[in-house]
Amino acid sequence: MKAVVVHGAGDLRVEDIPEPQCGPDEVLVEMEFGGICGSDLAYWRHGASGTAVLREPLVLGHEVAGRIAQVGANVRGLVTGTPVTVHPATNVGDGVMPERLAGRTNLYHTVRYFGSAAFVPHEQGGFCQYRVVRPDQIRVLPTNVTTRQAAVAEPLAVALHAVNRAGDLTGKTVLVNGCGPIGVLTVAAAKARGAAEVIGADLAPASLEIARRMGADRVVNPAAGEDLPQDVDVSFEASGAPAALGGVIAATARGGVLVQVGNLPVGDVSASLGNIVTREIEYRGSYRFADEISDALTLLSEGLDVEPLLTHTFLLADALAAFETAGDRSTGSSKVLLQIGE
């Protein structure tokens, strides 16, 4: 079968790999669509994503959807042909967590994730024609959600988790700084969770237009001399740029909440943090998601339109062009999809 495999920095190939065999306790999924994420781009560009370094060839992709092709003999409740997406995480070990972390499975100490080089052997991803998964990883799609839309369920889950980390947004004013795919999905999630006004901020006009179409009430572009809003109740920093952090803190109201959803660089960073103290701002991290992928499917079924985000679609054979487009903001790209199935 065909798969998108990264062998090292700058070395991305569409190649044949063995087709997986479905065991009695497993489910075989025939993939139809996959979304390219920043971590996929990092493995292609640098041979690493954060502290995870490539040590062997890796099938990329953790934002995927398709249809069940085969159900293992011991699996109940699932049938072939069913459209699904996949929760890409596997907790290694007994799964027991401290009581203070009850329900926060994203913070489990050892997690293997689709398309990740964090462990050896690497956890192969879903940019391939077929992938075997555990039944508990399967999320059946609502009848009105397509596999194209469901390829966005994983990043939408990341956005919903960030919104959950902020607490009740009902009636509040919200700033989302950084309007890449996660940022604009955070815009949509904040609106869906009752925010009265959501302001998107970014340096790229194309990204701001997508934020508008995803529900932002207004947008600002600091590169064009426009100021961030002042005294917003909740801020989401989704750019991952340390230089932006001081301005986002300053935009957050006294006693407000700032959620860091964009991945900051590995190692030391320089940022102006003094206002966290003087304004008593609650600075909260947000990492992946627990089971918000199920909530994401519900939101999609309720009519959340993610099409403005889906700027480009490429066939699997054209994966390199897809990665080049996703990695070049001058193309106007946001979420770039691979069409894996025919």
Q: What percent of the chain lies above the pLDDT cut of 90?
A: 96
| Tokens standing for residue 147 | 């596999």
- Kindly tell me the burial class for residue 240, based on how many C-beta atoms sit within 10 Å of its own C-beta (0-12, 13-18, 19 or more): buried
Q: What percent of the chain lies above the pLDDT cut of 70?
A: 100
Instruction: Characterise 266 by phi-psi region: left (phi > 0), alpha (psi -120 to 50), beta (else).
Output: beta
| Tokens standing for residue 152 | 């966005």
Q: Tens digits of per-residue pLDDT, 328-338?
A: 989 999 999 99
CA 213 to chain centre: 19
Q: Tens digits of per-residue pLDDT, 145-173?
A: 999 999 999 999 999 999 999 999 999 99
Output the pLDDT for position 1.
97
* Region 2-152+306-339: CATH code: 3.90.180.10
Q: Tens digits of per-residue pLDDT, 294-315?
A: 999 999 999 999 999 999 999 9
The residue-averaged pLDDT of 262-281 equals 90
What DSSP character marks residue 216?
Answer: -
Q: Tens digits of per-residue pLDDT, 22-58?
A: 999 999 999 999 999 999 999 999 999 999 999 999 9
**Single-letter amino acid, residue 277:** V
pLDDT higher than threshold 90 for residue 265:
no
pLDDT higher than threshold 80 for residue 175:
yes
Output the pLDDT for position 4.
98
Model pTM greater than 0.95? yes
What DSSP character marks residue 262?
Answer: S
The band of 267, judged by pLDDT with boundaries at 50, 70 and 90, is: confident
pLDDT higher than threshold 80 for residue 223:
yes
Output the pLDDT for position 122.
98
Domain ranges of the chain: 2-152+306-339, 156-285
The second-level CATH assignment, the architecture, of 156-285 is 3-Layer(aba) Sandwich (3.40)
Distances (CA, A) of 157 to 37, 209, 217, 218, 236: 13, 22, 22, 23, 15
pLDDT higher than threshold 80 for residue 13:
yes
Distance, in Å, from the CA atom of 249 to the CA atom of 232, rounded to the nearest integer, reads: 10
Distance, in Å, from the CA atom of 89 to the CA atom of 62, rounded to the nearest integer, reads: 9
Output the pLDDT for position 244.
94
Q: Tens digits of per-residue pLDDT, 50-87?
A: 999 999 999 999 999 999 999 999 999 999 999 999 99
Under 8 Å between Cβ of 319 and 14:
yes
In the chain the beta strands, taken as DSSP E runs, fall at 2-8, 11-16, 27-35, 48-49, 52-53, 58-59, 63-71, 83-86, 89-91, 111-113, 130-133, 138-140, 173-177, 197-201, 218-220, 232-237, 252-260, 282-285, 310-315, 335-339
Mean pLDDT of the chain: 97
pLDDT higher than threshold 80 for residue 342:
no
Output the pLDDT for position 85.
98
Closest CA to 229 of 207, 256, 191, 206: 256
